[in-house]
């Protein structure tokens, strides 16, 4: 079936750089998207969400962009820190059913 | 309290054993979920409970049996598992099925 996917399995950045993690989705009926961070041995942790009636949402050091025309989602992390190192998943909610996760991107931050 | 608590954290069981995973939340959430996660893979949806009723079963084998005794608790009963069922089992809850889901730390299951 249709699912959410990420473009790159790994991303390596230097401390202080801005990071951009991308995700493509294929189901035009999806109306809610979430970015999760998962550290080793832990459950996914909510970072930021966005609904389909918006194209941008900002949090503390993070921004999510939604482009419904090309079905693309991105997570921008400003001034990336070593503590940001983790696996990042985008997830889509297909019309209020349940969250379906994309493949994940491993972010490595070196100091 | 924004916590989802899962017990046990680790579980080793034989293929003939019966065991249960437990999940608890006190956020008043009405939707609860079980996900399975293999190493280096995304979580895969197994079951969804909404208002204590099973609403989604993603074609999960019958050796996995979910139960929702009340609005705060979710169990996953395991019986006659296979080694390939070894994984991290994650529980999550949300206000409803269209809201953000909060995840527990998971139960690391090893089937021997």
* Confidence label for A7 from pLDDT (cuts 50, 70 and 90): low
Which of A10, A1, A4, A2 lies closest to A103 in space, CA to CA? A4
Q: What is the mean pLDDT of residues B20-49?
A: 96
Kindly report, residue by residue over A29-67, the tens digit of the pLDDT: 899 999 999 999 899 999 999 999 999 999 999 999 999
Share of chain B above pLDDT 70, in %: 98
Asked whether the beta carbons of residue A96 and residue B100 sit closer than 8 angstroms, the reply is no
Q: Which residues of B touch A97 (CB under 8 A)?
A: 48, 56, 97
B54 vs A: CB within 8 A: no
A48 vs B: CB within 8 A: no
Please state the φ and ψ torsions of residue A70, each to the nearest 5 degrees.
-110, 10
- Average pLDDT of the residues of chain B: 95
Kindly report, residue by residue over A23-33, the tens digit of the pLDDT: 998 788 899 99
CA distance A63 to B32: 28
What pLDDT is attached to residue A110?
95
Q: Which residues of B touch A36 (CB under 8 A)?
A: 103
Q: Which residues of A touch B40 (CB under 8 A)?
A: 104
Asked whether the beta carbons of residue A43 and residue B97 sit closer than 8 angstroms, the reply is no
Q: Is the pLDDT of residue A2 over 50?
A: no
Residue of B41, B48, B102 with shortest CB distance to A46: B102
* B73-79, strands of its sheet edge to edge: B4-7, B18-25, B73-79, B64-70
B34 vs A: CB within 8 A: no
Q: Which residues of A touch B47 (CB under 8 A)?
A: none
Residue of A42, A43, A104 with shortest CB distance to B42: A104
Residue of B33, B42, B97 with shortest CB distance to A96: B97
Kindly report, residue by residue over B47-99, the tens digit of the pLDDT: 999 999 999 999 999 999 999 999 999 999 999 999 999 999 999 999 988 88
Q: Is the pLDDT of residue A69 over 80?
A: yes
What pLDDT is attached to residue B2?
65
Contact B73, B26 (CB under 8 A): no
B66 vs A: CB within 8 A: no
Q: What is the mean pLDDT of residues A78-105?
A: 92
What pLDDT is attached to residue A3?
44
């Amino acid at each position: 079936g249709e699912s959410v996917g990420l473009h790159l399995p790994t991303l390596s950045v230097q401390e202080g750089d801005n990071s951009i993690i991308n995700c493509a989705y294929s189901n035009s009926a999806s109306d809610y998207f979430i970015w999760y961070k998962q550290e080793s041995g832990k459950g996914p942790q909510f970072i930021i969400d966005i609904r389909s009636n918006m194209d941008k949402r900002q949090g503390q050091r993070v921004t999510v962009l939604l482009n419904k025309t090309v079905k693309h989602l991105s997570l921008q992390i400003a001034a990336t820190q070593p503590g940001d190192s983790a696996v990042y998943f985008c997830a889509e909610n297909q019309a209020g059913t349940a969250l379906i996760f994309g493949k994940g991107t491993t972010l490595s931050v070196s100091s | 309290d924004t916590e989802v608590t899962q017990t046990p954290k680790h579980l080793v069981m034989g293929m003939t054993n019966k065991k249960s995973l437990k999940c608890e939340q006190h956020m008043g959430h009405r939707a609860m979920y079980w996900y399975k996660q293999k190493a280096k893979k995304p979580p895969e949806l197994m079951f969804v409970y909404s208002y204590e009723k099973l609403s989604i079963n993603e074609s999960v084998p019958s050796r996995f049996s979910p139960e929702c005794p009340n609005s705060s608790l979710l169990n996953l009963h395991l019986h006659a598992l296979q080694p390939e069922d070894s994984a991290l089992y994650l529980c999550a809850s949300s206000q409803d099925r269209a809201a953000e889901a909060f995840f527990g730390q998971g139960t690391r299951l090893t089937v021997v």
